[in-house]
A and B are shown apart, each in its own frame.
Chain A
Amino acid sequence: MPVPARRPAWRKRLADFLDLPRDVVLDLPRISVIGDLQLQLQNHRGLVEYLPERVVIAMRDGRLIVRGEELVIAGVNPEELIVTGRIHAVEFRR
């Protein structure tokens, strides 16, 4: 997957103008959280750390830290990553 070095401003403007989903245009991660049970992350860059109480996932522009209890990586493939368990917090880190 080619990774652009910078986010060109014209792409953001195009996305705004055409009302396109930004994750598609800007290559941003898309996160869906279902209650505190499941977190689904598309467009990830791999796993940095995995512990039952903390999962650190690499993204294009930083990291996503999922805190909780008995966290399980229910599924992982190049497109998406699913974390289940009791999720307490989701934190973005640059």
Chain B
Amino acid sequence: MARWWAHLLGAVRVRVRGDMPERLLNLCLDAGIPLWDVVHQGDYVFAWLPVRDLLRLRGLARRARCRVRVTGRQGLPFLWRRVRRRRLGIAAAVAVLVALQVFGSFVWFFEVRGEEQLSEAEILEAAAAAGLRPGAWRPGLDRDAVAREMILRVPALAWVGLEFVGTRVIITVAERTLPPEETPTGPGDLVAERAGIIEDILVFRGEAAVAPGDTVVPGQLLIRGEITAPGPVDAFPAPGEDPPPAQRRPVAARGRVLARTWYEGYLEVPLVERLPVRTGHRVEQRRLFVAGREIVVSGPRRIPFGRYEPQRLERPLPPWAGEAAAFRLVTVIFHEIEETELARTPAEALQEARRRLEARLLGGLAVDAHIESVRVDAAEARDSFVSMRMIIEVVEDIGRFKPNDYEESPGESPPSALLRGPREMP
């Protein structure tokens, strides 16, 4: 008897009460109704039977003068009835699944990676113009077409990659290095940033006011922001006739003025230096910042170190509150400090001095500056320290733009620089 099968197809447990329950059992036997787990308990007999035979059992019970009551149900038909009763719940579940599927196929979130010059807003704007905006239907998007269109729209983009992660799209961009945009400035001169000796002068626009070999002082005019333009000509001047006077026109001077400049520095390095060094021991304090006061929440109240270096870390509470949150969680890490004596030989000290001086003097140089020579002038080794003077000779562009308004007027004489004759290029 495959009882589990009967249970699956639907079975009921009945409670039989009567003088002769055996009679009912025999009637069931004759009718071919299978029974199982027939238990006699007190005045009742309980039995399981297939649900499809329940009606027939009731008829037989009347004949056997027994009263039958159903006390248990099991199986898929009953389950199905329960499920059908909860049709609304099932509909809701299906609706949720459908909604998930539908909303999951739209793009809602954006992430931009790799932008350097461009802002995220600019990239998102370009994406929106190419069809990739919040709420865009993902299957309707052609990834390559969107990327292509974005590159066409924004000249600074060299490459665009789109990666869809669920409802999120990650836009990875690579930017093109664009030629530096010429900032529109008014007319002006190029003047000397530092004192130096002119090595070479290359005029892009304007007229040179100095020549190689000249010594210039800071602020001295290097390239004049004014050009001489030929005067308006109606007809080619006849022989013997003077050409129309040249006109002076203000421009923004541009050019490269390479000059030899000097940087000088002096430094003393003690032979024995005391340096604060972290020992590695540290204690951590957590404090709660409330109403201008900090209350130590956890960690030691007294710092067990003689010398220490505090390191503060502030976090607003709750985390999304701004910097000026009323409550802040402050973590202070106290690092124990120990003074270490660093002893150097005179040679080492000189080396250190040279290193520090070079760092100090060369730190502010432009990348295209050329270091001509490094001269260490006075390196003295004394008892307790060494001293060093360093002079670095550099060839660099010393031009600095300085706005200057020239009056547009017919010029009488060409500027002096033009009279100097051809320059010699070094």
Contacts and interface: CB of A to CB of B under 8 A. Distances in A.
Contacts of B35: 73, 75-77
B40 A74 contact: no
Interface string A30-70: 00000000000000001111111000000000000000000
Contacts of A50: 21-22, 25, 38, 40, 45
Interface stretch (B26-34, B227-235, B338-346): B26-34
B36 interface: yes
User: Binding site of B, secondary structure by majority: helix, strand, loop or mixed?
Assistant: mixed
B37 interface: yes
B371 to A, nearest CB: 104
A72 B32 contact: no
B39 interface: yes
Contacts of B36: 73-76
Interface in B33-82: 34-41, 45, 47
A78 B29 contact: yes
A73 B32 contact: no
A49 B25 CA distance: 10
Nearest to B25: A47
Interface residues of A, number: 15
B38 A72 contact: yes
Contact of B22 (A49, A72, A77, A78): A49
Contacts of A72: 37-40
User: Binding site of A, secondary structure by majority: helix, strand, loop or mixed?
Assistant: strand
Contacts of B21: 50
A77 B45 contact: no
Contacts of B91: none
Contacts of B30: 46, 78
B398 to A, nearest CB: 110
Interface residues of B, number: 20
Contact of B29 (A47, A52, A71): A47
B165 interface: no
Contacts of B3: 75
A76 B45 contact: no
A51 B3 CA distance: 23
Nearest to B40: A52
Contacts of B47: 73
Nearest to A83: B38
A75 B29 contact: no
Given A50-B40, A51-B40, A52-B40, A73 B34 contact: no
B1 interface: yes
B25 A76 contact: yes
A76 B1 CA distance: 10
Given A49-B22, A51-B40, A75 B34 contact: yes
A5 to B, nearest CB: 21
A76 B36 CA distance: 6
Interface string B4-22: 0000000000000000011
Most chain B CB within 10 A, of A51, A71, A77, is at A77
Nearest to B27: A46
B4 to A, nearest CB: 13
Contacts of A76: 25, 28-29, 34-36, 38
Nearest to B23: A47
Contact of A73 (B1, B25, B41): B25
Contacts of A77: 1, 29, 32, 34-35
A75 B30 CA distance: 15
B38 A46 contact: no
A81 B36 CA distance: 9
A72 B32 CA distance: 20
Contacts of B1: 75, 77
A46 B29 contact: yes
Nearest to B41: A52
A76 B25 CA distance: 8
A92 B341 CA distance: 112
14 contacts: A47-B26, A49-B22, A50-B45, A52-B40, A52-B41, A71-B40, A72-B37, A72-B38, A73-B47, A74-B37, A74-B38, A75-B3, A76-B29, A78-B29
Given A72-B37, A76-B25, 20 more contacts: A47-B29, A48-B22, A50-B21, A52-B40, A52-B41, A72-B39, A72-B40, A73-B35, A73-B39, A73-B47, A74-B38, A75-B1, A75-B3, A75-B35, A76-B35, A76-B36, A76-B38, A77-B1, A77-B34, A78-B32
User: Which are the 9 A-B pairs with shortest beta-carbon distances?
Assistant: A73-B38, A46-B26, A75-B36, A77-B34, A47-B22, A52-B40, A47-B25, A76-B35, A72-B39
Interface of B: 1, 3, 21-22, 25-26, 28-30, 32, 34-41, 45, 47
